[in-house]
Structure 1
Amino acid sequence: MKFKTALSLLLVASLVGVAIQGCNGKVVQFIFGDSLSDVGNNNRLNMSLAQASLPYYGIDFGNGLPNGRFTNGRTVADIIGDSTGLPRPPALLDPSLDEKVILENGVNYASGGGGILNQTGTYFIRLGKQASDKFFQDARYVVALGSNDFINNYLMPVYADSWRYNDRTFIEYLMETLQQQLLVLHKLGARKLMVFGLGPMGCIPLQRVLSTTGKCQERANKLALSFNKAASKLLVDLETQLPDASYKFGDAYDVVDDVIRNPNKYGFDNADSPCCSLGNIRPALTCTPASTLCGDRSKYVFWDEYHPSDRANELIAKELIKKFGFMGADSPSPAPEAASAPSPSDE
């Protein structure tokens, strides 16, 4: 489930022809991302270690069972789509996915652990060229990638990129790679594209617990800021160069940083540790049936060591909606009624 998997899909869809039957001009989304946007792809990748298939993931969504989202409720992409009246696209590996479902809902390619630098995958569908051109040009494309390229690659000394590049040249490498991917998407018909910026990734619980002080790792935060600046400029440049391109960059860094540093201001009680954890065993990495839950999930910024809670995602989504200029968007849909938690304990 890599970024270029989507390009393979669009290439075949645009060039191989069976006419679309019953296409009603509906606008859908194609989402390319990592675990912050995953809705179940990694649960169907047996070799992946990044899965949200165990309780208590999804406890505040629908029936309360794991659904592939790496949080207790909705993702940021869920909330933005709901607010703008777009259907939630199903996971690429959802067994029910077929051409009709794609035409009605789009596709979510996001995969836990994914990044801009990941390798190619393969997937194919077929659409007629004339109808598919309009379908893909009208669709919205969401790119929410980058954090894993730092946290699970560049900032880990076991990877060659950590010594092959310095901070400046690694970001340049990311931008060169992202630019090529966006150019291919544009060539294949993508015109309306939104890119999510990175938040203060040095402040996620995992980064804090791995530091010697328990505080945010400021180098990681500075890398996020540099990435956002470079990605924003890249989109401006591409929009001016490419015909009919409408590219928007959503940067919620400042708001998320303020939430983490002043949680009470936003109604949170905890912004430095996960709601779902194994007590004093840190880092626990994922939420498991053996974990204990915080007493009030709405008071925690983070759900697990990596990912925000549903309520934090809603706050992030509201900020991105402003940055994207969706001023006429409806209020984000409320999270589905929470399932009963099995005797959660206060931390």
Structure 2
Amino acid sequence: MSLAESYGHKVEEGLLSLLGKREPAGLYEPVDYILSIGGKRIRPVLCMMGCALYKEEEVDKSLFPALGMEVFHNFTLLHDDIMDRSEMRRNRPTVHVKWDERTAILSGDAMLILAYQLIARTSPVILPRVLELFNRTGLEVCEGQRYDLSFETRNDITEEAYLEMIKLKTAVLLGASLQVGAIIGGASEADACSLYRFGNDAGMAFQLQDDWLDVYGDAGTFGKPIGGDIIINKKTFLLINAYNNLSSAGRAELTRWIDKKEFDRDEKIAAVRNLYDEAGVSGNAKKLMDSYYQQSLVHLEKAGGSDELRDELKAFAFQLMERSR
């Protein structure tokens, strides 16, 4: 069993014992539900690995903050699902579908407070640094979501604007999870910042891979229907890159599909994917993913700590790059 798998088991055990049977059930059952329907547990595992990189014997001190990172992440998913009107999450009904929208909003609010309670369970000596990082990151995630929402009604999104959005919405939380762990493990400021940059660049590659899987992945393993981003005309790197690389006729055809109000789902997905293939989008996305991945490894080498743990982090990052869901 790898170290990441071992920490993943600790995270699952921690999440299972987090709430117990608290009242009112209408507030806490949705929290239990979203935390129990799976997920990769990337952020808490990275937090614990970030601590172990510098002080493996004290890794248990990072467990509660790691759980806080996971609860915060799932809080954002719960509210994102409301805003996106998503009906499925990890092959299960979303909270606002299984219960209702008001319940989802309130349970999400409770999760944010629970996240803060967990993050605060660390040494008073380092708590101000941890909270400063968490506060900044939480606001950045909200900024990223706001940009993502604004993209829905705009047709002038550049690749640079999209990459900035996913940095804020996704990548910074991976970086912060590692840096919180590093702070708990006693890393120097320089090493903790290098580890943050490793997580940030790995997070960029991770989100680009997610975009790619939505179009080119396998429906049986991805966890949600393939082509969902195409159906809702979501501004992803693939869509923006296609516009930039298609001929004028190809752009007109892509615009025609985007503007269609009534269509056959499978027909639209196939047609848009053919246009993506014509534009070389899959290869372009893979090339950018690899660029971020290679950059992340450069930062990891500068982060110091245990050689063995750095190898574990490399293996974990590689696993994320090669995933099918």
User: By the TM > 0.5 criterion, same fold?
Assistant: no
Higher strand share: 1
- With structure 2 as the length reference, what TM-score do the two structures score? 0.31
Higher helix share: 2
- With structure 1 as the length reference, what TM-score do the two structures score? 0.30
Higher relative contact order structure (alpha carbons within 8 Å, sequence separation ≥ 6): 1
